[in-house]
């Protein structure tokens, strides 16, 4: 998803990137929890997506949930490199994604998430996603631009 002009402000394009990031984030999360259901017989429901009660550090299922959330952040970093493509925008898009996720969680469970494990997991996940996303985007930005085709020179 490259914009036609990288320096122009295009709110429709940026909104489409935000929607794509959010959609792929939840698709990745659902896929991971689908695997958890197959491997560990944990139930899959909207509560897993949008409540803070399942992430805890005192049970095996809570640690599996935490690990899934962190793996989702790693997948989100790769999504940043494909959808956003600019390292300087990774923090903004990551913050937007997790801010919207927190708002949706608050609306779904009708209260502010108070579990410190949920907050710790999501803060670590967002930092990991932004950092790894910046690294992957910068690596792509720094690749050499081929000026000739080596196959034509013989």
Q: Which residue has the higher pLDDT, 141 or 152?
A: 141
- State which residues form the domain around 110: 11-140
Is 106 a member of any domain?
Answer: yes
Is 6 a member of any domain?
Answer: no
Is 2 a member of any domain?
Answer: no
- Per-residue pLDDT reduced to its tens digit, 36-55: 889 888 888 898 899 988 99
- The model's confidence at residue 126, banded by pLDDT at 50, 70 and 90, is very high
**How many domains in the chain?**
1
Q: Measured between alpha carbons, how far is 73 from 126 in angstroms, rounded to an integer?
A: 7
Is 57 a member of any domain?
Answer: yes
Is 68 a member of any domain?
Answer: yes
pTM for this entry: 0.84
- Per-residue pLDDT reduced to its tens digit, 68-88: 999 999 999 999 999 998 889
> CA torsion 131→135→140→142, rounded to 10°?
130
Is 150 a member of any domain?
Answer: no
Is 1 a member of any domain?
Answer: no
Q: How far apart are the first and last CA of the chain?
A: 35
């Amino acid at each position: 998803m490259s914009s036609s002009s990288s320096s122009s402000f295009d709110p429709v394009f940026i909104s489409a990137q935000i929607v794509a990031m959010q959609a792929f984030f939840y698709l990745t999360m659902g896929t991971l929890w689908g695997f958890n259901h197959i491997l560990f017989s944990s139930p899959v429901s909207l509560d897993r997506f949008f409540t803070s009660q399942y992430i805890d550090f005192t049970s095996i299922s809570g640690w599996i949930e935490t690990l899934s959330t962190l793996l989702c952040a790693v997948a989100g970093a790769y999504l940043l490199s494909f959808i956003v493509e600019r390292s300087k925008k990774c923090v903004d898009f990551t913050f937007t994604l997790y801010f919207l996720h927190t708002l949706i969680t608050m609306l779904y469970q009708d209260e502010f998430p108070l579990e410190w494990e949920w907050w710790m997991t999501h803060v670590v996940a967002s930092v990991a996603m932004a950092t790894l996303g910046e690294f992957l985007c910068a690596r792509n930005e720094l690749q050499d631009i081929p000026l000739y085709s080596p196959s034509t020179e013989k």
